[in-house]
Amino acid sequence: MSERERSVSTDDQPARRGLRLATVGGVPVYLNATWLLLAGLLVLMYGQLPSAAGTGPGAYAMGVAFVVCLLLSVLLHELGHALTARRWRIQVHAITLDLFGGYTEMDARSPSAGADLLVSLAGPVVSALIGFGALGAALAQPDAGLLRELTWQVAISNLLVAVFNALPGMPLDGGRILRAVIWAVTGDPHKGSRVAGWCGVVVAVGSVVVGVLAYANRWVGLLGVGFTVMIAVILWRGAWASIRAGHVAARLAGLRLGSLVSPLVAVPAGMPLAEAQLRGGGAALGVTDVHGRLVALVHDDAAAAVPVERRGSVPVESVARTLDPGRTLAVELSGEDLVRAVRLNPAPVYLVLSDGAATGVLRTADLARALTSVRPES
Ligand SMILES: [Zn+2]
């Protein structure tokens, strides 16, 4: 019932998500195999409880009907997130329905705190609407019967989903709402991530406490406690991920490509590596073609791997890689944008452009050093 943020859209892995059910509003919907476990457990639980359908096959059939309603409810909750995100031009990759309900994968970057707030709010609002709608329908039915029992259960489950997801801790929807509010008030999304993350830690611990108390009072069985603990573990991990992301992102914000640029020495193709290195004097090397155009960048590791005695005969371009648009960076890049650009096209060295002209190179090792040495903000 949460949104999973992806900072970089790498190759999609539909196989990991499960069976593709449909595409709704341009968003692919997957059914994960773990969902069958949830469905099986619920049907089993139903079969053993007395219901309006009696016991035995009738009760199991009721369980199946409830599971289908739950699946549709969760799907509508996720579509609430996904379609609101698309409305704000946030890229949505997929909705996956799984053991814990479901989640929506979307780009981590939100255009504003307001958009983030609405996207997070949309899921619980949809669940609450279904819940109250079903509650009304249940109350409107005069006779106790299968349909009333089913609508009643749909009402309760959706209201529970709405309330639980609205708890103000990451990675729940409520945590994202809290983060968006802090972002709006302070102008700092990273502080929002850290505070909402800490609240998520409290929610995770609280879930375990509630689960154990419910078991002690015999409101739930061992299975219920086990499920609660599994949910708590997911919340705990999501909460800490949010706290870490908040710290890292705040550090990143101070990173400027301009301050990491190294000088570039261009040498013509065909020049022996030894001569090129002598001319470069330790600077990064670029290779030019017969027209004097820069066409490739030397990889330091590849050059270092050539035995010294062979460097006099090996042409410099044999340890260089052709420049392509993915291996050039605009000097204005900073912070998250810089790291994103590097992650999208991993390479040991990039050409840095200022107004379209080469101004030097970024050695990825220098970026890594800067990332680990930047002082954490107070
Ligand atoms: Zn949600």
pLDDT the model gives residue 15? 57
Query: Which one has a higher pLDDT value, 48 or 351?
Result: 351
Span from the CA of 194 to the centroid of ligand 1 (angstroms): 20
Residues with CB under 5 A from ligand 1 (ion): 1, 123, 165, 173
Q: Check pLDDT > 50 for residue 66.
A: yes
Would you kindly state where each structural domain of the chain is located, as residue ranges?
A: 2-166, 181-252, 257-373
Span from the CA of 244 to the centroid of ligand 1 (angstroms): 21
Spatial distance between the Cα atoms of 298 and 314, rounded to a whole number of angstroms? 13
Which residues have a Cβ under 8 Å from the Cβ of 304 and sit 6 or more positions away?
none
Q: Domain 257-373 classified CATH 3.10.580.10?
A: yes
Span from the CA of 200 to the centroid of ligand 1 (angstroms): 15
The answer to whether the peptide bond before residue 171 is cis (omega within 30 degrees of 0) is: yes
Q: H helices of the chain, where?
A: 14-17, 33-48, 57-87, 113-140, 146-165, 173-186, 189-216, 222-252, 273-280, 300-305, 335-344, 364-373
Span from the CA of 213 to the centroid of ligand 1 (angstroms): 26
Closest CA to 83 of 27, 163, 40, 124: 27
Average pLDDT over residues 70-99: 90
Average pLDDT, the chain: 86
Span from the CA of 232 to the centroid of ligand 1 (angstroms): 16
CA distance readout (Å), 318 to 30, 191, 322, 350: 46, 48, 10, 17
Which has the minimum average pLDDT: 195-199, 286-290, 355-359?
355-359
Residue where the block lists tokens 């499920």: 227
Residues 204 and 236: beta-carbon distance below 8 Å:
yes
Closest CA to 371 of 327, 329, 346, 339: 339
Span from the CA of 125 to the centroid of ligand 1 (angstroms): 9
Spatial distance between the Cα atoms of 356 and 359, rounded to a whole number of angstroms? 9
Which has the minimum average pLDDT: 117-131, 188-202, 223-237?
223-237
Span from the CA of 161 to the centroid of ligand 1 (angstroms): 9
Span from the CA of 164 to the centroid of ligand 1 (angstroms): 10
Span from the CA of 342 to the centroid of ligand 1 (angstroms): 31
Span from the CA of 165 to the centroid of ligand 1 (angstroms): 6
Tokens of 148: 């009333």
CA distance readout (Å), 44 to 36, 98, 254, 358: 12, 18, 54, 66
pLDDT the model gives residue 374? 47
Span from the CA of 220 to the centroid of ligand 1 (angstroms): 24
Closest CA to 35 of 14, 19, 13: 19
Which has the minimum average pLDDT: 168-177, 251-260, 291-300?
251-260
pLDDT the model gives residue 122? 93
- Residue range 302-343, pLDDT digits in tens: 999 999 999 999 999 999 998 888 889 999 998 878 888 898
Span from the CA of 76 to the centroid of ligand 1 (angstroms): 10
Span from the CA of 306 to the centroid of ligand 1 (angstroms): 54
pLDDT the model gives residue 128? 95
Strand, coil or helix: 189: helix
pLDDT the model gives residue 240? 92
How are beta strands 264-268 and 284-288 bridged, if at all?
parallel
Q: How confident is the model at residue 20 (pLDDT cuts 50, 70, 90)?
A: confident
Average pLDDT over residues 165-187: 92
pTM of structure: 0.69
Span from the CA of 53 to the centroid of ligand 1 (angstroms): 32
Span from the CA of 148 to the centroid of ligand 1 (angstroms): 27
Span from the CA of 280 to the centroid of ligand 1 (angstroms): 55
